[in-house]
Amino acid sequence: MRFTSEQRLDDGVLEREFTLGEIPGTLWTPESAVPAPLILMAHNNGLPKREPRLVARARHSAAHGYAVATIDAAGCGDRPRSAADEQARADLRRAMQAGEPVDEIFESFVGPLVEKAVPEWRTTLDALLSLPGIDGPVGYSGWTALGIRLAVSEPRIKAAGFFAGGYVPRAQREEARQVTIPLLFLLQWDDEGNPRQRALDLFDAFGTKEKTLHANMGGHLGTPWFEREDGDRFFGRHLK
Amino acid sequence: MRFTSEQRLDDGVLEREFTLGEIPGTLWTPESAVPAPLILMAHNNGLPKREPRLVARARHSAAHGYAVATIDAAGCGDRPRSAADEQARADLRRAMQAGEPVDEIFESFVGPLVEKAVPEWRTTLDALLSLPGIDGPVGYSGWTALGIRLAVSEPRIKAAGFFAGGYVPRAQREEARQVTIPLLFLLQWDDEGNPRQRALDLFDAFGTKEKTLHANMGGHLGTPWFEREDGDRFFGRHLK
């Protein structure tokens, strides 16, 4: 893991860009609280790690005592996409504009995206936990489909907060029953592109006994600010 | 309002029994924080104010800076019941044991119970707000059907936390659209006697824009301890 830049933010949080082989990442660490529990944070559908909403969430959690890391996994964010992925995304835009069904298009590229992302997140986790000042247990926050796959395959992850607003491939919907770590599942009640009933069915399917659903009014981008604090408290119960 | 007994609890909370005409009530006030915002707390279906879960919630909120009050309204708790109410409750027990539908029986006695309770809660609110050390704005917590009726008819109530586990008469399900104050709606995902879909439909129906659903695993009595703290924070955002 090679750090390529760093800046100290107003609240004392250290924000560092890194590369790990081909993987670009960002690590936020709090000023105090050594060793800090680690939260892996990812955007639904492989959106870029530099996306302002993810950065704001990461900085907030780091200011509250967590080390937070994100990467652009293969095919995600600013990483190169395969010709097939480019084609799928073009098909998706066209279908959305035409009001046509999009499930099969999402399935065709989110499924492989998750499969390719998982080993890179695990490699990153190995490297992060070898750094001074970062310790387990590990939490996960954000992209539901990736989080299900990681929660099932990576025993170091002890608690997860999932955002319901994103396509979950059939394979991960089936794997949901094998997830047994504590979960906080965040749903926007009128998320434009994500059917409410499908999210409620997924919440029902998770195998864990200790799962909580938080649903708020409004569309995909309308999550209220206090859910950030609720997320920190959830991780506080399980990681600290 | 006449105080009939008082005790000082370990955390400094003052717990006082009172009567207001025929109405028996309990008031919890915090040691510090004068004037304290007021929370009216009621159990679904008119369960007694002395019930340990309600008392524990009230003491918790009082220890966190709220004045909390509850009453046994007409026909509720330890107050005398009409012959019709006694009959309805006997019918209910019989129907539940036989596994027969209970909606119409609930409708026959919860509807009138709410109607009779509302004026007594409003009278109590008048008396409470005239006490030194208690101030608005006012919150409401607990019994959903009564809370809907109060939220629609009592403009001094500014925020409400409802527990989904209780029968809501048709009249209040229709009135839900007129509720516009901020809401926290607490659902037990596998509540034995209360259909999940009906609770989700009610959450959807509330007219307010600022409503949050918290759903947790388990049956009617399984609400996890951290929801008490979440409730205090919800009221903290709206009453403090």
Contacts of B10 (CB under 8 A, 6+ apart): none
The 10 Å Cβ neighbour count of residue A234 is 23
**Average pLDDT, rounded, for chain B:** 94
- Beta strands per DSSP E along A9-97: 14-20, 23-29, 36-42, 67-71
Task: Assign B178 to helix, strand or coil.
Answer: helix
For residues B51 and B58, give the distance between their C-alpha atoms in angstroms, rounded to a whole number: 11
Contact A121, A71 (CB under 8 A): yes
Residue A240 has pLDDT above 90, yes or no: no
User: CA-based diameter of chain B, in Å?
Assistant: 52
| Residue of B214, B217, B233 with shortest CB distance to A214 | B214
Residue A37 preceded by cis peptide, ω within 30: no
Exposed e or buried b per residue across A147-161, where buried means at least 16 C-beta atoms within 10 angstroms of its C-beta:
bbbbbbeeeebbbbb
Q: What is the pTM of this model?
A: 0.93
Task: Note the pLDDT tens digit of each residue in B150-169.
Answer: 999 999 999 999 999 999 99
Q: Are B200 and A203 inside 8 Å of each other by CB?
A: no
Chain B positions with Cβ closer than 8 Å to A: 189, 200, 203-204, 209-218, 224, 226, 229-230, 233, 237
Of the listed ranges A30-34, A197-201, B154-158, B228-232, the one predicted with least confidence: A30-34
Report DSSP state, residue B51: -
B33 — pLDDT class (breaks 50, 70, 90): low
**Geometric angle at alpha carbon A117, from A1 and A178, rounded to 5°:** 120
What's residue A49's pLDDT?
A: 92
Task: Note the pLDDT tens digit of each residue in B98-113.
Answer: 999 999 999 999 999 9
Contact B70, B26 (CB under 8 A): yes
Q: What percent of chain A has pLDDT over 90?
A: 90
Residue B201 has pLDDT above 80, yes or no: yes
Q: What is the predicted ipTM?
A: 0.90
For residues A193 and B41, give the distance between their C-alpha atoms in angstroms, rounded to a whole number: 39
| Residue of B209, B216, B237 with shortest CB distance to A212 | B216
Residue B178 has pLDDT above 70, yes or no: yes
**Average pLDDT, rounded, for chain A:** 94
Q: Are B214 and A216 inside 8 Å of each other by CB?
A: no
A118 — pLDDT class (breaks 50, 70, 90): very high
Q: Are B209 and A217 inside 8 Å of each other by CB?
A: yes
Task: Note the pLDDT tens digit of each residue in B133-149.
Answer: 898 789 999 999 999 99
Any idea which fold A2-78+114-239 has?
Rossmann fold (3.40.50)
CA dihedral B162, B164, B167, B172 (to 10 degrees): 50
What's residue A16's pLDDT?
A: 97
For residues B93 and B99, give the distance between their C-alpha atoms in angstroms, rounded to a whole number: 10
Chain A positions with Cβ closer than 8 Å to B: 189, 200, 203-204, 209-218, 224, 226, 229-230, 233, 237
For residues B201 and A197, give the distance between their C-alpha atoms in angstroms, rounded to a whole number: 12
Task: Note the pLDDT tens digit of each residue in A58-104.
Answer: 999 999 999 999 999 999 998 999 899 899 999 999 999 999 999 99
The 10 Å Cβ neighbour count of residue B92 is 18
Task: Note the pLDDT tens digit of each residue in A188-204.
Answer: 999 988 999 999 999 99
Contact B27, B7 (CB under 8 A): no
Compare A133 and B22 and report the one with higher pLDDT: B22
What's residue A168's pLDDT?
A: 97
User: Hey, where are the domains in chain B?
Assistant: 2-79+111-239
- Beta strands per DSSP E along B63-171: 67-71, 134-143, 157-163
Sign for the pseudo-dihedral over CA of A45, A46, A48, A49: positive
Which whole-number Å values give the CA distances from A80 to A23, B35, B64, in the listed order?
A: 11, 60, 53
Task: Note the pLDDT tens digit of each residue in B34-86.
Answer: 789 999 999 988 899 999 999 999 999 999 999 999 999 999 998 999 899 89
Chain B residues with CB under 8 Å of A189 CB are 204, 213
Residue A33 has pLDDT above 70, yes or no: no
Q: Are A226 and B203 inside 8 Å of each other by CB?
A: no
For residues A161 and A186, give the distance between their C-alpha atoms in angstroms, rounded to a whole number: 7
Contact B100, B33 (CB under 8 A): no
The answer to whether domain B2-79+111-239 has CATH 3.90.850.10 is no
The predicted model gives A21-44 an average pLDDT of 91
The predicted model gives A145-152 an average pLDDT of 97
User: Rounded to a whole number, what is the distance in Å from the CA of A213 to chain B's nearest CA?
Assistant: 5
Q: How many residues does chain A have?
A: 240
Q: Are A216 and B212 inside 8 Å of each other by CB?
A: yes
